């Protein structure tokens, strides 16, 4: 339950730390806003506070056109309330209800439909369908505002089954058709949305919000050290790569956003052969750059630990870098077994060069970035391939073959909706994959915040520097119990070590008074 007094104080301060944690609905206007909205402050007696935008919409309020709730960080209070709800929300975010029913969603979670609805009302305040509807309409509003895609393409890309339903939902929520919400090309926002002029070329740009602080330098440093020739290019200011989703292919270019109302967002330039996969691309980018993380909650838990405290204070915006998809992360993890990061990168680049399909189109990249010419090999391409030609041990090549076959035969192998223990167990059934590799994949690909590869030598060495003695795997795992449920972030701090604050970081802060006790 939200604390009204604290929410209103945050509203008066337009405190960015509270952005995404609640929404303010104003009875006199029928509109709901983010805490940072520049509009005139409403009187407290006219305010109702909701934990999610979906709750405000279900109560009959319209989204504010000035502060744009659709680009608020996704930091709803349901996070951490229950594993089943979080897994269900991950599936909905991935589009599970775009073509399936709530009953089918419940079945994937091992629940009955009524039980799932009851859990959602208890933890989220609205039904699963209301969450799915809010997700679709928010992405659609962002596409209408930030791109020049045709309205038919917007309807397709945001998961609506038809243009008629898309128009109806927009009219119902915003009180006007989507065509009237188009941002004029003469906008004074300083070219924040360059795709307004080039959507006809198959390229758009979207804002990807995050909760500050955000350690962009740490993120690009991680990607730069592991960038594979031909599919990735990394510079201090940008990350670019080729992508594939199903039969669709394309490119992405991610960099810090610039312009008004963009201080806490990355900007993704996306080029695709089919806009139907855009929701999945956006979801995978958010996971890859760990944009759903709530650093205030994580830091509050880890900051007082004697081993982690200094790093947390120095790098409060540290995230856990991910990968494009589970299979790619898995292959790269196997390639990196028992060799240096540079060695794993060289093997990965050879794999791409030998087995990666070429791409015909290209994305205009900044002048100092190399052209991207290949896709990462799909499981079908390397399931039976002789990978020893790349110069790796036969046992490692066979493990990658086995991973590819498992990815083709087991649709749940890289399912983020599974509990951590089940995900790790599935991966460890593959010959050649032990606990370290399974935990690493769960951490970087499946986004399990509590994954922890305790057998990692670098983690043990980092822990040993503070303790004066390198701990065993068992002792480190015992020590890490105190870091639950954020052991993945603890591992990232140990790997990264303290460093000066980067340009997208801020001081450590908390919002513990937001929830009424």
Point out the residues that are catalytic.
33, 456
Report d(CA 4, CA 515) in Å as an integer: 9
Report d(CA 449, CA 79) in Å as an integer: 12
Residue the block writes with tokens 């990462």: 376
Nearest 5°: CA angle at 221, between 220 and 227? Answer: 75
Sign of the torsion angle spanned by Cα atoms 150, 156, 162, 168: negative
Task: State which H helix or E strand residue 459 sits in.
Answer: helix 457-467
In 270-308, which ranges are continuous DSSP H helix? 278-288, 295-302
Sign of the torsion angle spanned by Cα atoms 358, 403, 92, 489: negative
Return the half-sphere exposure (C-beta side, CA atoms, 13 A cut-off) of residue 226: 21
Q: Token pair of 467, please? A: 């303790």
Task: State which H helix or E strand residue 219 sits in.
Answer: helix 216-226
| Among 196, 194, 361, 358, residue whose Cα is nearest residue 274 | 361
Pairs from 12-17 (Cβ < 8 Å, separation ≥ 24): 12/41, 14/38, 16/212, 16/263, 16/264, 17/212, 17/296, 17/509, 17/511
Cβ atoms of 264 and 73 closer than 8 Å: yes
DSSP state of 431: T
> What does the DSSP assignment read for 69-135?
GGGS----TTTTS-HHHHHHHHHHHTTHHHHS-HHHHHHHTT--HHHHHHHHHHHTSS-HHHHHHHH
Beginning with the edge strand found earlier in the chain, give each strand of the sheet holding 62-63 in spatial order.
Answer: 47-50, 23-26, 31-33, 62-63
Report d(CA 437, CA 330) in Å as an integer: 8
Report d(CA 239, CA 264) in Å as an integer: 17
Cβ atoms of 189 and 139 closer than 8 Å: no
Sign of the torsion angle spanned by Cα atoms 158, 162, 164, 168: negative
Neighbouring-strand partners of residue 203: 271
DSSP state of 374: B
């Amino acid at each position: 339950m939200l604390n009204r007094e604290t929410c209103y104080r945050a509203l008066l301060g337009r405190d960015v730390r509270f952005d995404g944690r609640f929404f303010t609905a104003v009875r006199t206007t029928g509109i709901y806003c983010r805490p940072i909205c520049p509009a005139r402050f409403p009187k407290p007696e006219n305010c109702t506070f909701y934990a999610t935008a979906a709750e405000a919409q279900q109560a009959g309020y319209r989204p504010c056109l000035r502060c744009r709730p659709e680009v608020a960080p996704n930091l709803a209070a349901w996070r951490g309330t229950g594993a089943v709800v979080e897994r269900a929300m991950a599936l909905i975010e991935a589009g599970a209800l775009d073509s399936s029913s709530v009953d089918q969603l419940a079945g994937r979670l091992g629940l009955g439909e009524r039980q799932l609805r009851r859990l959602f009302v208890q933890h989220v305040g609205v039904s699963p369908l209301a969450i799915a509807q809010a997700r679709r309409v928010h992405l659609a509003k962002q596409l209408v505002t930030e791109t020049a895609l045709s309205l038919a393409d917007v309807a397709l890309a945001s998961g609506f089954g038809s243009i008629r339903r898309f128009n109806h939902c927009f009219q119902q929520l915003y009180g006007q058709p989507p065509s009237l919400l188009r941002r004029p090309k003469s906008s004074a926002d300083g070219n924040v949305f360059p795709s307004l002029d080039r959507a006809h070329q198959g390229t758009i740009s979207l804002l990807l919000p995050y909760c500050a602080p955000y350690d962009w330098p740490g993120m690009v440093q991680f990607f730069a050290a592991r960038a594979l020739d031909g599919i990735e290019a990394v510079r201090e200011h940008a990350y670019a790569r080729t992508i594939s989703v199903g039969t669709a292919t394309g490119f992405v270019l991610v960099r810090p956003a610039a312009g008004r109302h963009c201080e806490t967002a990355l900007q993704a330039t996306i080029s695709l052969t089919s806009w139907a996969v855009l929701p999945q691309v956006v979801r995978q980018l958010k996971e890859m750059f760990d944009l759903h993380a709530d650093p205030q909650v994580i830091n509050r838990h880890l900051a007082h630990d004697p081993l982690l405290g200094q790093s947390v204070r120095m790098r409060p915006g540290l995230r856990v870098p991910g990968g494009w998809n589970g299979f790619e992360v898995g292959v790269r993890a196997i390639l990196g077994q028992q060799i240096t990061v540079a060695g794993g990168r060289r093997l990965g680049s050879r794999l791409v060069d030998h087995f990666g399909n070429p791409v015909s189109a290209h994305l205009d990249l900044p002048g100092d970035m190399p052209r991207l010419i290949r896709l990462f090999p799909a499981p079908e391409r390397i399931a039976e391939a002789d990978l020893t030609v790349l110069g790796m041990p036969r046992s490692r090549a066979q493990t990658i073959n086995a991973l590819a076959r498992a990815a083709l035969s087991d649709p749940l192998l890289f399912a983020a909706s599974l509990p951590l223990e089940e995900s790790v167990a599935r991966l460890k059934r593959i010959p050649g994959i032990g606990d370290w590799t399974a935990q690493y994949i769960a951490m970087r690909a499946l986004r399990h915040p509590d994954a922890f590869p305790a057998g990692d030598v670098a983690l043990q060495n980092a822990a040993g520097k503070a303790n004066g003695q390198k701990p065993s795997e068992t002792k480190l795992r015992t020590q890490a119990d105190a870091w639950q449920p954020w052991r993945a972030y603890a591992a990232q701090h140990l790997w990264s070590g303290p460093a000066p604050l980067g340009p997208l970081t801020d001081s450590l802060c908390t919002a513990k008074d937001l929830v009424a006790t």
